[in-house]
Structure 1
Amino acid sequence: MILWTRGETIIYLFYAGIITVLYKVFGFTFLNVPWTPVALIGTAVAFMVGFQNNSAYGRIWEARMIWGAIVNTSRTWGMKVQDMVNNDHKSPPIPKEELKEEKRILIYRHIAWMTALRYSMRQRKSWETQHTSKTNREWRKMIHIPEEVSTLDDNLKCYLSDEERHYVMSKSNKQTAVLYLQSAHIRKLKKVGLIWEFAFLELENVLETLFTHQGKSERIKNFPYPRQYASLSLYLTRVFAILLPFGLIPEFAEIGKSMTGSFYMIGNYFIWVAVPFCAVVSWAFHTMERMARVGENPFEGNPNDVPISTISRSIEINLREMLDEDLENIPSQFPEDKNVQM
């Protein structure tokens, strides 16, 4: 946290130091703002920043709950595909290898849906600007999210046929296109007798649930935290940081004067304690406000965002293990860089 905000901390120390020098050394005692209005602004900032942090945390937590629900629904999809796609109502029955291939296609297409969804969530929006700050750029040089390393088209080659891949890539909402392919496929399986009527309805219900999860995730991605609240918190925090030394330094000067009778040396230099004190208070308010700004967009790809790439890969590993694939053919989990999940 200290390294993350080191630039602003240095600015606050330097700024408070300049005001103290002007007040103490050059005798600019008119640099004095009554403490009451400064405290009132600080109270307003605390309320606004607290509200912003609560709202940002709510967005992060909701995003994590959505992707947790995707985990559960994905496992449900895998289970129902394994049990409901069978030869019980097929006459004559198809070979086991063909049946297994139909299941594999459905499972792989679901993995393609998760892949398309996470790539969509990582697309940069105009209001996602946290990657432009210096310390965040440093983080992004150290950690590399998978969606920035490879393309969606290359990833879909692992899960879809060329025809389906071209179809999906031609659509603006690619994850929706994948679910349409799933629905068409299970309808075809029902028609040939590999899925009976009730099983078809059950699988369609799972697809409907996936659409719901997708829509909730897209809602958070496509609707930013209201700018009027975010901008007001930012401006008030900066105004408070600017006014704080003008209110605190005279207070520390008065305390120092009251101490000179008993502790002359301490009292004479006590005003300089205001420099780190101002910096600490300004740093605390600034850091809380910045934490809220970073948390507003939980899919931007910052270190504390929802690790949707890791979640998707975990689901893929689970589903492919249930297909009894060789472990050497199943991709490994994305590595953690600097103890950060992707």
Structure 2
Amino acid sequence: MIVGKTPRIRMTFVAAWNTLLALFVWDVAVTVFYYFTPFPAPALPLTIFGTGLALLLGFRVNSAYARWWEGRIVWGAMTNASRSLARAVGAALPDHAAGQALRHDVVRRHIAYVHVLRHQLRGQDPAESAHRVLGAAEIPELARRNPANGLLEGNGMRLASALRQGWIDTVQLSRIEAIMVDISNAQGAMERLRNTPLPAQYRSFPTFFTRLFCVLLPIGLVETLGPATPLGSALAGFMFLAALQIGDDLVNPFANTIHDAPLTAMCATIESDCNESLGLPPVPVVQPDGGILW
């Protein structure tokens, strides 16, 4: 996530430079053709076209931002549920050595769970983070198709075992299970966002109409701008291309790009809070790197 205050217009320009270069060459060709041929430029209702395109692009950007913001919301819910789980497990399990060992195991496995989930969403290998938290011993859940869900399920089984041993009662288990259901629901929402792209029409039509509008721009502007048509048309086209690029940047909040939700920082927050609930030192806070918070 970009947290720096300096506008990053250069990044948008780099992403759209090939289309913008083609547009500028087309603008020059239209301008030369207009000045060296007897054919007049047709009058085009660019205002109507531009207004319709702006509405379409605005709708697409809003849809993409809604996905990004929902991703941030469900990770906020995951953070809250993680704190609640650590608190509930600490309050429910008995003070004897075996009970505290189980508490430590459940909370540390939950820390591993959020890191594994982060890697799953970003399409990365979660093994390194899982072993950093849980140690070098084999972690069977990593062999599952959904390792994060395996870790969550394993915690549920451990707490059910505590019930059978009489360490907690059914009311306490029900309250902890309700928190784990919230965690599972948050994971499901994240997976839904990752696995369900915007409908094809939301992606293809804005791209097509933006490029068509850029093709028509110099034809409608050449009589007004004259020799300055390539510059004016390219600048106006860049604004629409930038709006198109914003939608592409925000549509996947877990894409592991500079535009996605700061999963690494949020996982570090969860790990720090859970560690402190166990009396362990917190991990270092993730700081922005070059104005980017990962």
For the criterion TM > 0.5, the same-fold answer is: yes
Within a 5 Å distance, the mapping from 1:323-334 to structure 2 comes to 323-325=278-280, 327=281, 330-334=282-286
Matched, 1:65 2:79: no
Structure 1 residues 202, 282: closer, same or farther in 2, change over 3 A? same
Distance in 1 separating the partners of 2:10 and 2:220: 28
Shift of 1:309: 1.3
Inter-partner Cα distance in structure 2 for 1:159 and 1:189: 23
What is aligned with 2:184? 211
The corresponding residue for 1:340 is 292
Partner of 1:53: 61
2:44 to 31, 35, 47: 35
The equivalences for 1:203-282 within 5 A come to 203-252=176-225, 271-282=226-237
Aligned 8 A contact 1:20 1:272 in 2: yes
Indicate how the Cα distance of structure 1 residues 31 and 183 shifts in structure 2: closer, same or farther if over 3 A, else same.
Answer: farther
Q: Which residue of 2 is the match for residue 312 of structure 1?
A: 267
1:2 maps to 2:22: no
The residue type equivalent to 2:290 in the other structure is: K
Distance in 2 separating the partners of 1:286 and 1:83: 55
For the pair shown, the structure with the greater C-alpha radius of gyration is: 1
In the alignment of these two chains, the number of paired residues is 283
Contact conserved, 1:122 with 1:301, CA < 8 A, in 2? Answer: yes
Contact kept in structure 2, 1:114 and 1:312, CA below 8 Å: yes
1:18 matched to 2:47: no
Q: Aligned-pair distance for 1:203?
A: 0.7
The whole-number CA distance in structure 2 between the counterparts of 1:210 and 1:29 is 70
Tell me the distance in 1 between the aligned counterparts of 2:72 and 2:58. 21
Farther off after superposition, 202-211 or 271-280: 271-280
Show the counterpart of 1:156: 130
Gaps (5+ residues) in structure 1?
Answer: 88-93, 124-146, 253-270
Q: In structure 2, what is the Cα distance between the partners aligned to 1:68 and 1:335?
A: 18
Q: Which residue in 2 is equivalent to 1:134?
A: none
Counterpart secondary structure, 2:9: coil
2:101 aligned residue: 101
Cα distance between partner residues in 1 of 2:39 and 2:110:
69
Q: 1:291 to 1:22 in 2, by over 3 A?
A: same
Identical positions, percent: 24
Secondary structure (helix, strand or coil) at the match of 1:3 reads helix
Residue 306 of structure 1 aligns to a residue whose secondary structure is coil
How much has 1:164 moved relative to structure 2? 6.4
Which residue identity is paired with 2:39? F
TM-score of the two chains, using structure 2 as the length reference: 0.89
Q: What is residue 243 of structure 2 aligned with on the other side?
A: 288
Q: Distance in 2 between matches of 1:295 and 1:331?
A: 29
Specify the alignment match of 2:82 in structure 1.
Answer: 74
| Whole-angstrom distance in 2 between the partners of 1:122 and 1:154 | 14
Let me know the Cα RMSD of the aligned residues.
Answer: 1.9
Instruction: Identify which range, 208-217 or 27-36, moves more after superposition.
Output: 27-36
The one-letter code of the counterpart of 2:108 is Y
* Aligned-partner Cα distance in 2 for 1:19–1:2: 27
Is the CA contact 2:94–2:100 (under 8 Å) kept in the aligned structure 1? no
In the alignment, residue 293 of structure 2 is paired with which amino acid? Q
* Equivalent pair of 2:131/2:137 in contact (CA under 8 Å): no
- 1:162 is displaced (CA, Å) by 6.4
Q: Structure 1 length normalisation: TM-score? A: 0.77
Runs of 4 or more off by more than 4 Å in structure 1?
A: 8-11, 161-164
1:193 is matched with: 166
| Equivalent residues of 1:66, 1:217 under 8 A apart | yes
- Per the alignment, residue 5 of structure 2 pairs with none
The Cα offsets for residues 264-306 of structure 1, whole Å up to 9 and x where unpaired, read as: xxxxxxx233332212210111100111111111110121211
Contact 1:85 1:103 in 2 (8 A): yes
Is the contact made by 1:104 and 1:323 (CA closer than 8 Å) also made in structure 2? yes
**Quick check: 2:121–2:191 contact (8 Å CA) kept in 1?**
yes
